[in-house]
Structure 1
């Protein structure tokens, strides 16, 4: 039994809960005080380097989420009609945990290769993926500031593949998709906060992804959102050292592998 039972279907919850979680979690970061001593970049750098104002970022994220929600509902309907889903009995917690782990690996694999290709293909980078890199200094609300087509390829189709391959139910998928959204927002938050569990558990974290958004790292650290496996296996891993800036805050500096 879950709190939305009787009000929303699991399919609808799997589509709309991640959107709500995105704005709640990203909004939490947005309303925090400046926290200059934990920032990966100074506020001056954010103002000077970012190429798009926050108002357009918010509009871009909302547009992407509208497109994704529409396509996600269509995909749920098609997979259900095709008999690819329909499992309603929840597995044990151990099995669900394994399914989520499998889904994490599938999503990482899909997103690594699509993301990397968008950097290698000049047309795709110029007309699609470069939109995300207008935020040279990432922040939480801009985590999903992508071209709508990129959102479909990376997130919607990657999520659908993870869901189908793992064999999880729609109800388990709600947990997985919300977790993936929280992790993605955290990777773009621009803050190195003490005690952040994602920084302790995952090597692919805020500093790791910050390297990718910098000029010297655009051809490295493609992995998202969970592990750094493919970067390390395929030679696109750029290690870094996290150092304190004299004026406060932190800086992720690339080091030789």
Structure 2
């Protein structure tokens, strides 16, 4: 039994919890001190290179989350296995873990190929995907700043496919989507913080994705949000190394190198 059972349905939690987690985690990064010694780009670079103000980014994210919440709620209602008592039969923990792994791989596969095609198709890139790349220097709140159509195709449809393919319940989906949101926000945070657990367990991290947002790396590192498997298999992986900036500070600037 979980603490919300009897008060809020698993379907409602699966719909709205990822949105709440997004703003809490992204807001945490936004309210942190400057941490200039751990930034992948200086604040001057962020101010000069980014082509969209924070207010527009927030509005864009809220619009995407409105669409996601609508689709998620409908999907949960259609596929719900809730009984008449209002409870949901949960599979064993090992089964749930396997479902989450399957969902991660499904989401990665969908997002890699859609994301890559949006770069290769000049019309789609110019009119749709370029909106996300207006944030040349990524930051946490902008993780889901996309054109509405891209948000629908890449994130919302990708999430629906991962949910359906894995066969998870709404309760397991809530855990998975909250984790996916935290991972996506972290990948866009623009920081390389010591001890960050995502940097320890995932090669696809904030530095890896930062490569993709730079001009010389735009045709590489399409994989998101979990594993760089498809990049490595299909020759779009670009390695990197972190060095100290000339003006001082800890590991913060990327040196892009292609094998």
Q: Normalising by structure 2, what TM-score?
A: 0.95
Q: 1:86: how far off?
A: 5.6
Task: Let me know the Cα RMSD of the aligned residues.
Answer: 1.3
Within 5 Å, which residues of 2 pair with 1:188-207? 188-207=188-207
The aligned counterpart of 1:211 is: 211
1:103-158 per-position Cα deviation (integer Å, ceiling 9, x unaligned): 10000000000100111111111111111000000000000001111111111111
The aligned counterpart of 1:177 is: 177
Contact 2:61 2:145 in 1 (8 A): yes
The aligned counterpart of 2:127 is: 127
Residues 231 and 86 (structure 1), Cα distance of their counterparts in 2 relative to 1, 3 Å cut: farther
Q: 1:31: how far off?
A: 0.4
The aligned counterpart of 1:144 is: 144
1:67-106 per-position Cα deviation (integer Å, ceiling 9, x unaligned): 22112222333445xxxx5693212211111111111000
Helix, strand or coil for the counterpart of 2:144? coil
The aligned counterpart of 1:63 is: 63
Within 5 Å, which residues of 2 pair with 1:1-257? 1-80=1-80, 88-247=88-247, 248-249=249-250, 250-257=252-259
The runs of at least 4 aligned residues of structure 1 exceeding 6 Å deviation read none
Helix, strand or coil for the counterpart of 1:143? helix
In structure 1, stretches of 5+ residues that fail to align are none
1:162-221 per-position Cα deviation (integer Å, ceiling 9, x unaligned): 111111111100000000000000000000000000001000000000000000011100
Contact 2:108 2:225 in 1 (8 A): yes
Helix, strand or coil for the counterpart of 1:253? strand
Q: 1:246: how far off?
A: 2.3
Helix, strand or coil for the counterpart of 1:61? helix
Partners of 1:171 and 1:7 lie apart in 2 by 14
1:4-56 per-position Cα deviation (integer Å, ceiling 9, x unaligned): 21122111111110000000000000000000000000000000000001011
Partners of 1:101 and 1:57 lie apart in 2 by 31
Partners of 1:99 and 1:72 lie apart in 2 by 18
In structure 2, stretches of 5+ residues that fail to align are none
Helix, strand or coil for the counterpart of 2:242? strand
Contact 2:104 2:226 in 1 (8 A): yes
Partners of 1:133 and 1:8 lie apart in 2 by 37
Q: Normalising by structure 1, what TM-score?
A: 0.95
| Greater displacement, 58-67 / 199-208 | 58-67
| Greater displacement, 101-110 / 159-168 | 159-168
